[in-house]
Amino acid sequence: MKPTHPVWTSFCTTMPEIEAAAARIRSLIVATPTIPFAALSHDMDCSIAIKCENFQHGFAFKARGACNAVFSLTDEVAARGVVTHSSGNHAAALARAAKLRGIKAHIVMPKNSAKIKLAAVRSFGVEPVICESTPAAREAMANEVMQATGATLIHPFNDALVIAGQGTVGLEILRQYPDVETIVVPVGGGGLLAGTLIAVKSLKPSVRVIAAEPEWANDAFRSLQSGQIEPVLRTDSIADGLRTPLGSLTFPIIFQLVDEILCASETSIVESVQHLAMHAKMIAEPSGAVPLAVVHQHRDRFANQRVVCVVSGGNRDN
């Protein structure tokens, strides 16, 4: 029998897992809309629609991967709880998913985390485990919790079930906007991008998938050039959710499937947050506005295209 979808044997997850994720999380997430906004492209030759993950539970796409991972655990494993380290939206998403499943979540967060992210975790009845602000300290603390409790680590992006959950974004865009020609996805650790790539390139490979990254955190752009995972060289981009290197599971998927990675300046990211407020009446976090920034900054690459920009989140402190 001919397989329905291509199978990339070296990847940690494939289309059937994304379809399973979609069924598993259907009642736990919002099937966020894809909305066209003529005003976003009024001086450009393309048409722009927004996939509104800022309207997701927790106001970020992270709810998808977290729910898929938590609800895939057997009862016995789930009973020992889950643990993660995250300064961002994955923290609250995992706290929520654990609460929905009725299990304990241990959320390791650096002491310089944004207040809004700490408050979001606490709103699900979880007191964050505070650690020093280095990646090493975060991982060490998460390991300590794992050893002590037997909790399962749910990594923010380098996890097959998390990637499959984020891939439901791609599935929904194709269903909601069948005429789409180009999808622009922000890339930090690469979970959303990898999942979306598998969904889109499985179901409709003619649709271009462009990754959007800040110039000041262009590690994925450089990784694609060098063929290996490159580090983030500076940590001051306003797009705080994207200052993360790719992971061992996300990199190969992105390396093989992405059409192109384009970078946005800090100025264009700030302008895109303002454009989304003025011309789409929505609040986006800077990381979520990077796809629109890329379309504006590289407008020749999108001429005459029907473009969907994924606005990945709406949380910001200011």
Q: Is 284 in the site for a second copy (CB under 8 A)?
A: yes
**Matching residue, tokens 């906004």:** 37
Which of 16, 20, 35, 270 is in the footprint of a second copy by CB under 8 A?
35
Amino acid occupying residue 101 = R
Cα–Cα distance for residue pair 79/102, rounded to 1 Å: 9
Cα–Cα distance for residue pair 34/57, rounded to 1 Å: 16
Q: Is 148 in the site for a second copy (CB under 8 A)?
A: no
Which of 30, 79, 148, 233 is in the footprint of a second copy by CB under 8 A?
30
Cα–Cα distance for residue pair 253/230, rounded to 1 Å: 15
Q: Is 119 in the site for a second copy (CB under 8 A)?
A: no
Distances (CA, A) of 213 to 93, 241, 249: 23, 10, 19
Q: Which is nearer to a second copy, 55 or 71 (CB)?
A: 55
- Nearest to 310, CA basis, from 70, 108, 56, 109: 56
64, 21 in Cβ contact below 8 A? yes
Q: Is 125 in the site for a second copy (CB under 8 A)?
A: no
Q: Which is nearer to a second copy, 75 or 317 (CB)?
A: 317
Cα–Cα distance for residue pair 185/260, rounded to 1 Å: 11
Q: Which is nearer to a second copy, 115 or 281 (CB)?
A: 281
Q: Is 33 in the site for a second copy (CB under 8 A)?
A: yes
- Write out the two tokens for 159: 């996890």
At its nearest, how many Å lie between a second copy and the CB of residue 306? 15
Q: Which is nearer to a second copy, 7 or 277 (CB)?
A: 277
Write the binding mask 252 to 281 for a second copy: x where contact by CB under 8 A, - elsewhere.
-------------------------x--xx
Q: Which is nearer to a second copy, 34 or 250 (CB)?
A: 34
At its nearest, how many Å lie between a second copy and the CB of residue 283? 4
Q: Is 291 in the site for a second copy (CB under 8 A)?
A: no
> CA angle, 160 as apex, 158 and 163 as ends, to 5°?
75
Query: Is 104 known to be catalytic?
Result: no
With contacts defined by CB under 8 A, name the span among 26-34, 144-152, 245-253, 262-270 that binds a second copy: 26-34
Q: Which is nearer to a second copy, 7 or 38 (CB)?
A: 38
50, 308 in Cβ contact below 8 A? yes
With contacts defined by CB under 8 A, name the span among 47-55, 162-170, 193-201, 228-236 that binds a second copy: 47-55
Instruction: Say which DSSP state 51 is in.
Output: E
Residue 253 makes CB contacts below 8 A (sequence gap 6+) with: 8, 11, 12, 163, 190, 194, 197, 198
Q: Is 51 in the site for a second copy (CB under 8 A)?
A: no
Interactions with a second copy, residue window 4-23 (CB under 8 A): none
Query: Is 41 known to be catalytic?
Result: no
122, 101 in Cβ contact below 8 A? no
Which of 17, 24, 25, 32 is in the footprint of a second copy by CB under 8 A?
32
Given the residues 51, 62, 117, 201, the one annotated as active site = 62
- Write out the two tokens for 235: 């940590």
At its nearest, how many Å lie between a second copy and the CB of residue 178? 15
Distances (CA, A) of 166 to 105, 194, 195, 287, 300: 20, 8, 5, 16, 29
Q: Is 57 in the site for a second copy (CB under 8 A)?
A: yes
Question: Sheet harboring 34-36: ordered strands across?
Answer: 34-36, 47-52, 306-311, 182-186, 208-214, 260-264
- Write out the two tokens for 275: 């454009």
Binding site for a second copy (CB under 8 A): 30, 32-33, 35-38, 52, 54-55, 57, 59, 277, 280-284, 314
Residues labelled as active-site residues:
62, 87
